[in-house]
Structure 1
Amino acid sequence: MRFVVVTGMSGGGKSTAMRMLEDAGFYCVDNLPVPLIEKFVELIAVPGGEVRKVALGLDVRADQSFGEAREILEKLKKNGYVFEVLFMEASDQTLLKRYKETRRMHPLSLDGRIEDGVKKERAILKAIRNESDYVIDTSNLLTRELKEELDRIFVRNEEYHNLMVTVLSFGFKHGIPADADLVFDVRFLPNPFYIDELKHKTGNDKEVQDYVMGFPEAHTFIDKLTDMIEFLIPNYIKEGKYQLVIGIGCTGGKHRSVTLANKLYERMKNKSGYGIKIAHRDMGQGI
């Protein structure tokens, strides 16, 4: 039997993950009272039982101790029960935005500020997060991307990537992405915007790509950038980083940055040890 404990930050996507696991054939139980966890596991793990895949949702509640839940999980492990822990994560900024959009209260901030509840919850969940088998940061994940990640881990049983890299093109005139970890400026290259036949195209068009990559400096830049990123990623993984956003910016975010973001993504996409995706934040912006 495959037994997965799904936990994480409130607003981090635990409920969505549970629904997706249910669609994938898992028998899902959420918000089970802590004292019943041990009995539930004992009943569901009976040899010869019909249930082969189980997901148990655990979260922080104002009226019960999460520490008690962790103690029960440790006891189950000592008694020979095998389970995996999936931790759903998101940045503080993302969590605050989600709570404000839904007008919900954080379970630990019923009498205070949402920020205080998030801070308190992070402290409570720190230990289980560090011990988790999988940590998925949903700050920049689309719903379909989360489904793909869960399917890869729990349906296709493929290798888990504990670092998700996002290569993000953007335009400086629209602002530097707030979530970017690394930012690179490619405005040193000639701008296709001033070429009439290229002005209304983007870095996804071959004509723009040929123009941008027609300059030796573009090749030197992408070579040096790739070398640096390939050096950094193993060290980020070693230090426990789960999310890396690489911002590549030009003036408007339509031509040079898109071209070079695509080139970096192409070089990195087949490497092992991390997951990668590409996004073009400002490519659809008006001129």
Structure 2
Amino acid sequence: MQLILISGLSGSGKSVTLRALEDSGYYCVDNLPATMLTEALNLYADFGYDHIAISVDTRSGPSLGALPDEMRKLREKGADVRLLFLESQEDTLVKRFSETRRRHPLSSPGLTVKECITLERELLADIQELGTRIDTSDMSANTLRNWVKTLVEADTGRLTLVIQSFGFKHGVPLDADFVFDVRCLPNPYYDRELRPLTGHDQPIIEFFLKCPDVAEMIDDIDSIVGKWLPRFNQEGRSYLTVAIGCTGGQHRSVYIARTLAERYAGKRVLVRHRQLDSLP
């Protein structure tokens, strides 16, 4: 049986994620107390369901603290249990609650939305370390749906290396394990002909191929990732996210992320370009 648990901050896209998994053939349950996981899975197994997705978050109250132990018990019984933890930058969450006019699940007299978000982060602090973190700050609903489907289709028997480009001016990704700053490298943005292009375009590729510093930076990042990748694998991690950042997330970080991914072509690699993916 495969169980995908969905947790994270309110407003970060848990409902979108659950619907994406339902569209992929999972039997989905929203807001189940963690203490009922084993009982629920036994029931679903009797009905022939073998792909289950369950949302477990702060709405469950005190039972949320039982989640780590429940996950361990289910794995000991042979279940393939994975956790997707969704989060977003505070200003993004505040904007989403303002636009939808929804009440925060932890709202109470005297608490602002920002204070509710801070409280929820504290309550979920231990949970976020149990699985794969997804920063949805710059994701559209459609991008999130596609990204979730890609993640859950990954081979659970091997560590998946996620290489992500981003722009520092849009904030550092919350889900990164390693962050590399490549803003010190030559920037094609200052060439008017190259400015509208991206790190995928041949003129940009040729621009960077002429820069020894770019090749040296890629070698150094490759050396660090290659050295520590086996250690993360030994610890049973399912995903390792390496974020490459430049100013806008359009040229340098995109080129380096895709070039680095090519070096790990024999491994399980997923590539995401945060700023390019967020474009309409």
Q: What's the offset of the Cα at 1:266?
A: 3.3
- Counterpart of 1:266, as a letter, is R
Q: 2:93 is matched by which residue type in structure 1?
A: L
Q: 1:51: Cα distance to partner?
A: 1.9
Quick check: which has more Rg, 1 or 2?
A: 1
3-state SS of 1:109 partner: coil
Partner of 1:167: 165
Cα shift readout 1:197-228 (whole Å, capped 9, x = no counterpart): x3786356545654x358x4x2x121122023
- Equivalent residue number for residue 28 of structure 1: 28
1:55 aligns with 53
Deviations 1:115-162 (A, max 9, x none): 222222222222332233x33332344444433343334346466766
Contact in 2 for aligned 1:166/1:276 (Cα 8 Å): yes
CA separation of 1:274/1:142 partners in 2, compared to 1, >3 Å: closer, same or farther?
farther
The aligned amino acid for 2:5 is V
Q: For residue 184 of structure 1, give the secondary structure of its aligned residue in structure 2.
A: coil
Q: Which residue of 2 aligns with 1:225?
A: 217
Q: Secondary structure at the match of 1:119?
A: helix
Aligned-partner Cα distance in 1 for 2:43–2:77: 14
Query: In the alignment, which residue of structure 2 is the partner of 1:135?
Result: 133
**Contact kept? 1:5, 1:83, Cα under 8 Å:** no
The equivalent residue for 1:173 is: none
**Structure-2 change in CA distance of 1:268 and 1:107 (3 Å):** same
Is residue 12 of structure 1 aligned with residue 9 of structure 2? no
Q: Does 1:177 align with 2:174?
A: no
Q: Following the alignment from structure 2 to structure 1, what is the Cα–Cα distance between the partners of residues 225 and 126?
A: 24
Identical columns (%): 22
Task: Determine the structure 2 residue equivalent to 1:148.
Answer: 146
* Distance of 2:79 and 2:257 partners within structure 1: 37
User: For the structure 1 residues 159 and 143, does the alpha-carbon distance in structure 2 shift closer, same or farther, using more than 3 Å as the test?
Assistant: farther
Residue in structure 1 matched with residue 176 of structure 2 by the alignment: none
Residue in 1 aligned with 2:67? Answer: 70
Structure 1 residue 15 displacement after superposition: 1.1
- 8 Å Cα contact 1:209/1:259 also seen in 2: no
What TM-score, normalized to structure 1?
0.69
Q: CA deviation at 1:43?
A: 1.7
Give the 3 Å change call, closer, same or farther, for CA 114–279 of structure 1 in structure 2: closer
**Residues 96, 162 of structure 1: alpha-carbon distance in 2 compared, 3 angstrom cutoff:** farther
SS at match of 1:64: helix
Counterpart residue identity of residue 277, structure 1: R
Sort the Cα spacing of 1:108 and 1:186 in 2 relative to 1 into closer, same or farther, 3 A: same
Q: 1:177 to 1:160 in 2, by over 3 A?
A: farther
Task: Report Cα offsets for 1:142-199 as digits up to 9, x if no partner.
Answer: 44443334333434646676664332468xxxxx333375251445779433xxxx37
CA contact (8 A) 1:13 1:88 kept: no
Which residue of structure 1 aligns with residue 260 of structure 2? 268
Residue 114 (structure 2) aligns with:
115
CA distance in 2, matches of 1:95, 1:60: 16
User: What is the Cα deviation at residue 60 of structure 1?
Assistant: 0.8
Aligned to 1:86: 83
The one-letter code matched in structure 1 to 2:128 is R
Unaligned runs of 5+ in 1: 171-175
Q: Which ranges in structure 2 are unaligned for 5 or more consecutive residues?
A: 174-178
- When normalised by structure 2's length, the TM-score is 0.70
Q: CA deviation at 1:233?
A: 3.8
Residue 88 of structure 2 corresponds to residue 95 of structure 1? no
The Cα shift of 1:269 comes to 2.3
Question: Are the aligned partners of 2:187 and 2:252 in contact in 1 as well (CA < 8 Å)?
Answer: no
The whole-number CA distance in structure 2 between the counterparts of 1:146 and 1:186 is 30
Distance 2:25 2:184 in 1: 46
In 2, Cα distance between the equivalents of 1:188 and 1:39?
56
